Amino acid sequence: MQAGKSSIQFEHPPIITSAASIVGQTEGEGPLASFFDRVEPDPTFGKKSWEEAESELQRQTVQKCLDKASRQAADVNCLFAGDLLGQIVATSFGVELFDIPFFGLYGACSTMGEAMILGAMAAGAGYADRVLALASSHFASAERQFRFPLAYGNQRPQSTTWTVTGCGCVMIEGNEKNEGKDGRRAKENASESLKNAGQEKLHPKFQPCIPAATPGKIVDMQMRDSMNMGAAMAVAAVDTILQNFRDFNRKPSDYDRIITGDLGMVGKEILLDFMREAGQDISSIHMDCGIEMFDPKTQDTHSGGSGCGCSAAVLCGYILPKIQAGEWKRVLFVPTGALLSQISFNEGQNVPGIAHGVVLEGKESFGE
């Protein structure tokens, strides 16, 4: 990264060696159902509060991610994670049992992007051999936090999104070529991990890696409607995507997909309009995780899915496998967040947006 540019380029791109996703029942009735590792029919996850349910969702997803890589928690150097709740309590209680050094994050629904960028930095420089990056949301804990008690049965405008009950977790490791950097990671460790957890199991053809990232700025368009967060976030996504194009001298056709987090139907239109105005038509390659998550014909979820678990689960269940299969060679993953709290909203504050861009590429697993 250089002054005047926002993006980071990884000389030896960190690799994603495992990914897991678990979602709730409504998500399990949507178009992507078959791609997730597990659909949990019990919204309480066997716990006695929505917050504990979300913690349990995180715990199970982290465990699944470790299991898929044949790894133990002790093999992981640090964990980057967050959720939507005040003081990210779902995360604190969700990950504490793993006893891994922990960086708590809050990026609203952009948290998965934030976690992956920081995780890629730590692994890319050799400060960590192996990290986990995850984000979760839960419909019921988020509704209570940001909107209304479920029992109140309030009316929802069409621009409202539906908070996804879901969690996605990725394991990021340094590239084995990246020895001798500032950190102290031993080359042997990395090679061994590739053997144990690498291509045979998870990367049949192409190994997903993170060659670059564009961390987002806070973009405040003076929006004040918490029931239309897609609009607040769309402009932040525009800012990050254009910054990425400028920093790497790229155009839409350099990506197979540009995938936003949870703009929903309303936010998507705004994104595409603003991008067109900037001379960059991304309509043919744009996808939004929130729109993919639910079927608008059969599921009454209005503008689409949202919540930081939405983009995290879609990344792990749907996007990474497409890259592994070689279907997509280069993707710009742009989780989008709306920065508000119950208090800021009630005090009449704006709802600024933020979007973190993560470049994902598939590297041929063999012949390197």
Of 203-232, which residues contact a second copy (CB under 8 A)?
214-218, 220
Stretch that binds a second copy, among 38-46, 60-68, 121-129, 156-164 (CB under 8 A): 121-129
Q: Which of 353, 210, 156 is nearest to 271 (CA)?
A: 353
Q: Does 88 bind a second copy (CB under 8 A)?
A: yes
Cβ proximity to a second copy: between 215 and 267 the closer is 215
- For residue 319, give the DSSP letter: I
How many of the chain's residues bind a second copy (CB under 8 A)? 75
Cβ proximity to a second copy: between 6 and 260 the closer is 6
Cα-Cα-Cα-Cα torsion 1, 6, 107, 270, nearest 10 degrees, comes to: -150
Cβ proximity to a second copy: between 107 and 166 the closer is 107
Which of positions 292-351 make contact with a second copy (CB under 8 A)? 339-344, 347, 349
**Under 8 Å between Cβ of 331 and 318:** no
Q: Does 59 bind a second copy (CB under 8 A)?
A: no
Alpha-carbon gap, residue 130 to 70, rounded angstroms? 13
For a second copy, which residue of 57, 122, 229, 234 counts as binding (CB under 8 A)? Answer: 122
Cβ proximity to a second copy: between 128 and 272 the closer is 128
Cβ proximity to a second copy: between 95 and 310 the closer is 95
Cβ proximity to a second copy: between 274 and 345 the closer is 345
For a second copy, which residue of 31, 183, 252, 321 counts as binding (CB under 8 A)? Answer: 183
Encoded one letter per residue, x for contact with a second copy by CB under 8 A and - for no contact, window 2-41 reads xxx-x-xxxxx-----------------------------
Stretch that binds a second copy, among 179-187, 282-290, 291-299, 318-326 (CB under 8 A): 179-187
How many CA atoms lie less than 13 Å away from 365 in the CB half-sphere? Answer: 20
Alpha-carbon gap, residue 213 to 228, rounded angstroms? 27
**Under 8 Å between Cβ of 183 and 254:** no
Alpha-carbon gap, residue 57 to 43, rounded angstroms? 10
Q: Which of 251, 248, 243 is nearest to 216 (CA)?
A: 243
Alpha-carbon gap, residue 194 to 217, rounded angstroms? 34
Dihedral sign (CA 251, 257, 261, 266): positive
Stretch that binds a second copy, among 28-36, 174-182, 268-276, 312-320 (CB under 8 A): 174-182
**Under 8 Å between Cβ of 7 and 212:** yes
- For residue 43, give the DSSP letter: T
Q: Does 106 bind a second copy (CB under 8 A)?
A: yes
- φ, ψ (nearest 5 deg) of residue 287: -140, 145
Q: Give the number of other Cβ atoms within 10 Å of residue 2's Cβ.
A: 9
Q: Minimum distance between the CB of residue 52 and a second copy, rounded to whole angstroms?
A: 8
Q: Minimum distance between the CB of residue 273 and a second copy, rounded to whole angstroms?
A: 23
For a second copy, which residue of 15, 53, 69, 105 counts as binding (CB under 8 A)? Answer: 105
For a second copy, which residue of 60, 61, 160, 178 counts as binding (CB under 8 A)? Answer: 178
Which of positions 128-157 make contact with a second copy (CB under 8 A)? 128-130, 145
Q: Does 126 bind a second copy (CB under 8 A)?
A: yes
Q: Give the number of other Cβ atoms within 10 Å of residue 302's Cβ.
A: 19
Q: Minimum distance between the CB of residue 107 and a second copy, rounded to whole angstroms?
A: 5
**Under 8 Å between Cβ of 73 and 65:** no
Q: Does 78 bind a second copy (CB under 8 A)?
A: yes
- φ, ψ (nearest 5 deg) of residue 135: -150, 150
Q: Does 245 bind a second copy (CB under 8 A)?
A: no
